[in-house]
Chain A
């Protein structure tokens, strides 16, 4: 085997250094797993390789020749393609039209539909698929869309494919099919990078495991020689995160929320847990394990198929988010920009939106003075960095935006606060503050449900941690029972 790609001394910084002098290489016909915690630099490295970002320093060699990759087109020309998490297909067009989008086979001035049809069948057959290329993308399953993505990359003679969390939204059988396809591609000499948090899959499919931590490569080993424990250990290193756990006191006799046999879809159909007043519970699980679905169902965004929700001792039906707010629930959603905020509106307008009934005067007018006062005290108490409460919220940093989302819910005086990945993409200072806010909210006798991919965060505040796997609660820990992050990481990967 020969080295097809070599990245030497790659550095990149966004104010803070994200990649520090990284060397990364790919052998022909080899699958390399790239793993690391959130913010370790994996996606930055891959974005440099695929031309989305430009490197600050270092060089990229393909087949031994140094080449420039300044944009996505350069990467394509060099045979590098990325299979995105969110597929870049046009849903209203057919498989064949998507594969050849922008690079149509022409017959004189006309698109040669027949030739493209033939070629699409050929490409799909290479992936072991027997589908009609005239089918429309929107009629296909997620797994099939992924296959079309791969076929599209192959049509452009890609030699290197980058997969970003490809299995997160796939079913068991689709994952098996994907792995078979990857093995087939490998035989044809195609190199692949496989980014995933799922360690068992990594050990199953990859030849080499590369671990990034804090912008540096800390491990580069043959997968055969590794155990799950080795990888987890390398990802986390010895150092503990800055968050320390302190046992919290609360009255465990007062149940705030009781969920029995909640069913949401075929996969998530028997979820039971409870939340005491003053308690913080955490859901730990991989992407696609059902964390978000559970929170959204409790909040009335998704329909529940079965089961019972009891709030403060009373059985409750929540049909919409309006009902949820009335029941004293609050949800800090996963996607801050799309679900949490109205980006073109001001800080103030966002902060008063859900609790707007609290500022009414003369029955239907908004008491602007009162609203101003509340928003000003939000800004002060939560240390939101903004010079003017009327500033458009899009112009704030991620951490400050997230604080406004939390503020808008605090202003509704909720009893139960649900937070879905509230710390993603925000700086460490804001993270610490948000975790502190959760604690003080619970200390007032309220309940918190906290979902996070950062296990260290879960471990620093949660009193109880539920482990979710494939739509099921597989484990429940009292925080005291968890000795270290490795133990929790193992549970999530379902290794014990």
Chain B
């Protein structure tokens, strides 16, 4: 989210800050109502961040894809496949570099295929990635016949999953790293401008000398690579590769990105917003568990909160448009 300087007398664009306002409101609410359940404990707060790290990392890629006017449903499946790839390679070669290199390449490749399906074969992104998601998830099940592969390499597990640097879990550090890179690429670099222009008005972008196909393919490739990294984080944290990692993550990522202020039709977006969006989702998850709600109830409340937040910011936005 880009904070614009507000000169005196101008109205503040509330919808831009919606996710932050809701974040603070929800945080305060949980801090009060769940104060006896340990919500505010340092460990619990770090736990929230650690648990949402994978969604957060995938949401960086999701921001690029959705700002370009596309959608990527393969993220969870790519994470699962990537975890399988890493654990198999470490099992047979014990080479960490080879393992993560191949996994990330795989993620990139899936992104390029998604991009090619959308740009060359003119499939809608929703359908193209829906099909790819099934193919990849199926592949991840098939590769070991749904068996989990344990990872014995403790260096790997520490670096990508369970380790800590001082009091801070490595998962959080990885998340911060990707957000810094993502923020600069999206807000400060040429590529971010090209992505936003392509999502904002594809025709104009093309008439401005931008190769819109390349922009879309690159956005998908970034999303694929980051999803593969999320898979690496899953496998490190749980010290094994499992085909079921990341099931349903595509929906959490889309929700996080949209909550963060990225328009589903493209052209606007915010990397920082996506981070806040994913932490918000993680925080709600955590609080509902602490409150002792059953899974069924948790699911219902999560859905309702997503609808309310997005609806609120849309209502505020259309009110602003009328004023203008």
Residues of chain A whose beta carbon lies under 8 Å from any beta carbon of chain B = 299, 301, 320-322, 324-325, 331, 333, 338-345, 349, 352-354, 356-357, 360, 364-366, 368, 388, 390, 395, 408, 412
Contacts and interface: CB of A to CB of B under 8 A. Distances in A.
A168 B156 CA distance: 68
A340 B204 contact: yes
B197 interface: yes
B201 A321 contact: no
Given A342-B205, A344-B201, 13 more contacts: A301-B206, A301-B207, A321-B208, A321-B209, A322-B211, A331-B207, A342-B201, A343-B200, A349-B196, A349-B197, A352-B193, A353-B197, A364-B190
Contacts of A390: 4
B203 interface: yes
Pairs of residues from A and B, 4 with the lowest C-beta to C-beta distance, nearest first = A325-B209, A342-B200, A354-B208, A342-B201
Contact of B268 (A299, A344, A366, A388): A344
B204 A338 contact: yes
A348 to B, nearest CB: 11
B210 A322 contact: yes
B189 interface: yes
A341 B197 CA distance: 9
Interface in B293-322: none
Nearest to A323: B209
B188 A338 contact: no
Contacts of B203: 338-339
20 contacts: A299-B207, A301-B206, A320-B211, A321-B206, A331-B207, A333-B207, A338-B203, A339-B207, A342-B267, A344-B200, A353-B193, A353-B197, A354-B209, A354-B210, A356-B190, A356-B193, A356-B194, A364-B190, A408-B208, A412-B209
Nearest to A300: B209
Contact of A349 (B190, B193, B209): B193
Given A341-B201, A345-B200, A366 B210 contact: no
Contacts of A331: 207
Contacts of B189: 364-366
B184 interface: yes
| Interface size class of chain B, counting residues whose CB lies under 8 Å from the partner chain | 20 to 34
B324 interface: yes
The DSSP consensus for interface residues of chain B is helix
Interface centre among B185, B194, B200 (most CB of A within 10 A): B200
Contacts of A360: 190
B192 to A, nearest CB: 8
Contacts of B211: 320, 322
B291 to A, nearest CB: 40
B204 A366 contact: no
Nearest to A357: B190
A225 B267 CA distance: 57
A368 B208 CA distance: 20
Contacts of A368: 188
Given A344-B268, A345-B197, A353 B184 contact: no
A412 B207 CA distance: 14
A33 to B, nearest CB: 34
Interface centre among B185, B208, B268, B324 (most CB of A within 10 A): B208
A360 to B, nearest CB: 7
A245 to B, nearest CB: 30
Nearest to B7: A388
A340 B206 CA distance: 10
A357 B208 CA distance: 13
Contacts of A322: 209-211
A321 B215 CA distance: 14
A301 B209 CA distance: 9
A338 B201 contact: yes
B138 to A, nearest CB: 33
B190 to A, nearest CB: 5
Interface in B200-227: 200-201, 203-211
A180 B179 CA distance: 67
Contacts of A366: 188-190, 193
Nearest to A341: B204
Contacts of B204: 338-342
B197 A342 contact: yes
Interface centre among A340, A341, A344, A354 (most CB of B within 10 A): A344
A343 B205 CA distance: 11
B55 to A, nearest CB: 27
Contacts of B191: 364
Contacts of A344: 200-201, 267-268
Interface centre among B207, B268, B324 (most CB of A within 10 A): B207
Interface centre among A341, A356, A364, A395 (most CB of B within 10 A): A356
B80 to A, nearest CB: 32
A355 to B, nearest CB: 9
Contacts of B7: 388
Nearest to B324: A395
